[in-house]
Homo-oligomer: A and B are copies of this chain.
């Protein structure tokens, strides 16, 4: 999309023009080998080989100063987090990533190549190639990532399938991201394990696929914290729940585990947790941990017998 307000400026050696910047960025995020029959960056739209089964799509925005504190973290972490958060939404459905597009808006003077190196890193580790993008001027630095995935056999696992009596599990201990941010604020280095969990989150793609293959009833990723996300899953399934255990990560507090968000562990609901664990272990994945059960009564939302309040991060508008 072009811009209708600013008049075209004359070419200048000091100003990098969009096509030049796009070419340099394409060299950073683009795949060296594009599959036969596909076209990635450079045309009006990317062309992908046919999808197998259901197609998934999700979008996520990360804004510098909102989703990442630029005084504490390098700019490339914003790109990494944006892609990881979007891919995590595919993991939450049991999907296999196929492609991502990134729309970056930024004021002049931002190191767009550094930002795109973080985007490229996350695309590589999640095996989700960046196939297109857009670049726009704005006051904020923002990265909007849209990911597409596929579910080749069994259909996607929704939030709405939890049934009374099902077990609730998570793929790992919680609160690592929030604890990492706290530690970074207190001076911990960027390679501190919990700090890394905050700025380089790892989407649970293999775990999501394993849970789908195991016939999980419902699933979602913990992006905003158990204290709000579990309520969302229960709302979508019209059920209640009783938590018996919140697995707090080493170095994190219970509050961080409950309301911190950005852990990107998966919340899985199943009526056959033995099978779920077996499939995880067969595939070399850490076995998920049971944290409670689903209750028929939508108003029963308990943790160790106490009311489990809805709490976690929400934007205000």
* Closest Cβ–Cβ distance, residue A62 to chain B (whole Å): 6
Whether A198 lies near B4 (C-beta < 8 A) is: yes
Contacting B at CB under 8 A, from A16-39, are 16-19, 21, 37, 39
Within 8 A of B (CB), among A179-209: 181, 198
Q: B181 and A4: CB pair below 8 A?
A: yes
Is the CB–CB distance between A6 and B54 below 8 Å?
Answer: no
CB distance from A60 to the nearest CB of B (A): 5
What is the predominant secondary structure among interface residues of chain A facing chain B? mixed
Given contacts A54-B50, A61-B1, A103-B59, contact A314 B17 (CB under 8 A): yes
Q: Does B137 lie within 8 Å of A66, measured CB to CB?
A: yes
Q: Nearest Cβ in chain B — how far from A97, in angstroms?
A: 11
Q: How far is the CB of A99 from chain B (nearest CB, A)?
A: 6
Instruction: List the number of copies, as a whole number.
Output: 2
B61 touches A317 (CB 8 A): no
**A269 to chain B: closest CB distance in Å?**
14
- Per-position binary interface string of chain A over residues 49-74, scored 1 when its CB falls under 8 Å from any chain B CB and 0 otherwise: 11111111111111101111100000
Picked from B47, B88, B108, B315, the residue with its CB within 8 Å of the CB of A137 is: B315
Task: Tell me the complex Cα distance, A178–B5, Å.
Answer: 10
> How many A residues are at the interface, by size bracket?
35 or more
A19 touches B314 (CB 8 A): yes
Residue of B nearest to A81 (CB): B1
Q: How far is the CA of A149 from the CA of B47 in the complex (A)?
A: 9
Contacts A1-B82, A45-B147, A63-B105 aside, 15 further interface pairs with beta carbons under 8 A come to A2-B223, A4-B69, A8-B313, A8-B314, A17-B316, A18-B317, A39-B158, A42-B159, A43-B156, A45-B92, A50-B53, A55-B148, A61-B103, A140-B142, A146-B146
Query: What are some 18 contacts across the A-B interface (CB < 8 A)?
Result: A1-B67, A1-B223, A5-B67, A18-B316, A42-B236, A44-B89, A45-B89, A45-B147, A45-B149, A48-B55, A50-B53, A58-B132, A59-B101, A61-B105, A63-B136, A66-B138, A112-B317, A136-B315
